[in-house]
Amino acid sequence: MKIAFIGMGNMAQALARGFIKADLLQGKDMTAFAPNQDKLRQNAAAIGFVPCGEPKVAIREAEIVFAACKPYQMEKVFAPLKSALKGKTLVSVASGWTFAKLHELLGDEVQLQYILPNTPAAVCKGVTIVESAHSVSAERRREVFALLAGVGQVVELPANIMSAASSVTGCGPAFAAMIIEGLADGAVKNGVPRAQAYELVAGMLIGAASLQLETGMHPGVLKDGVCSPGGTTIKGVAALEEAGLRAALIRAVDASLN
């Protein structure tokens, strides 16, 4: 399979790295266009995809084209490519470009799918939200799902809750990185070397998240399981409550969504 990226920034690079890491594609199977050609060539050398000087050249051989420029650029970038995209599948990662909007722009002759991936796709630990409405053939959609499943979890949702869900999955890696940084700062403050602090905190978060995911247990029950009466953990939990951790996280999701 040949795929193309129009726009090769953080999100597209994460997907390309993930597809290679998951052994789904080789660099030579992926073409990409972005206006800053020096940057594109540097990223191509680092990741292995084929850099192209024109969007039309990038999509020529591709069966699946990822639209990965900024949402406000979609119309300007893709309206001129409408005939070149005929018969191909356009998978848009641009926030807010739902199937209905894509269809208004590109009509019936391009197979259209809106998805919202996240940057941990680079290490095959992504979460991708896929809109339930689409105009992709059954066989091609299986191929798209197989690609996305190779780089993490895939969850199908209706358009009306995709933005809210993506405020957690798409923006969440930044929130999680801040939590890693904060906990590691606490460890460093108390004498743990910086590099080891990151390793310990990130490993702990993977473990805590895996425990929740695999057991399906309520997060409150998992918390209670670590808090012995009068012990050290409940003192930390009380400090987090005082600092308003949960309210802050809810506000972060609201702020991203709005």
Ligand X SMILES: NC(=O)c1ccc[n+]([C@@H]2O[C@H](COP(=O)([O-])OP(=O)(O)OC[C@H]3O[C@@H](n4cnc5c(N)ncnc54)[C@H](OP(=O)(O)O)[C@@H]3O)[C@@H](O)[C@H]2O)c1
Of 3, 4, 11, 110, which lies in the binding site for ligand X, with binding defined by CB under 6 A? 11
The reply on whether position 15 binds ligand X by CB under 6 A is no
Q: How far is CA 180 from the centre of its chain?
A: 18
Please answer whether residues 17 and 49 qualify as being in contact, where contact means their C-beta atoms are separated by less than 8 angstroms.
Answer: no
Give the Cα separation of 70 and 79 in Å (integer). Answer: 15
Residue with the shortest CB distance to ligand X: 9
The reply on whether position 153 binds ligand X by CB under 6 A is no
Give the Cα separation of 125 and 63 in Å (integer). Answer: 25
The sheet with strand 50-52 has its strands ordered as 50-52, 30-33, 3-6, 64-67, 89-92, 111-116, 126-131, 152-157
Q: Residue 6: phi, psi to the nearest 5? A: -105, 110
Q: Write the DSSP symbol of residue 96.
A: T
The reply on whether position 16 binds ligand X by CB under 6 A is no
b/e for 34-59, b at 16 or more Cβ within 10 A?
Answer: beeeeebeebbeebbbbbbeebeebb
The reply on whether position 6 binds ligand X by CB under 6 A is yes
The reply on whether position 70 binds ligand X by CB under 6 A is yes
The reply on whether position 91 binds ligand X by CB under 6 A is no
Please answer whether residues 20 and 47 qualify as being in contact, where contact means their C-beta atoms are separated by less than 8 angstroms.
Answer: yes
Query: Which positions from 159 through 188 interact with ligand X, judged by CB under 6 A?
Result: 170
Judged by beta carbon, residue 12 or residue 65, the one nearer ligand X is 12
Of 1, 57, 77, 205, which lies in the binding site for ligand X, with binding defined by CB under 6 A? 77
| Tokens at 91, concatenated | 């998978």
The reply on whether position 207 binds ligand X by CB under 6 A is no
The reply on whether position 68 binds ligand X by CB under 6 A is yes
Of 3, 4, 7, 66, which lies in the binding site for ligand X, with binding defined by CB under 6 A? 7
Q: Which of these segments, 35-43, 102-110, 208-216, 218-226, binds ligand X (CB under 6 A)?
A: 35-43
Q: Which of these segments, 23-31, 32-40, 141-149, 212-220, binds ligand X (CB under 6 A)?
A: 32-40
Nearest CA among 87, 86, 88, 91 for reference residue 6: 91
| Tokens at 161, concatenated | 């809750």
For residue 176, give the H/E element and its range. helix 172-189
The reply on whether position 116 binds ligand X by CB under 6 A is yes
Tell me the number of residues near ligand X by CB under 6 A. 26
Q: Which of these segments, 17-25, 98-106, 112-120, 226-234, binds ligand X (CB under 6 A)?
A: 112-120
The reply on whether position 9 binds ligand X by CB under 6 A is yes
The reply on whether position 152 binds ligand X by CB under 6 A is no
Of 117, 150, 152, 172, which lies in the binding site for ligand X, with binding defined by CB under 6 A? 117
Contacts to ligand X by CB under 6 A? 6-12, 33-36, 39, 68-71, 73, 77, 93-95, 116-119, 170
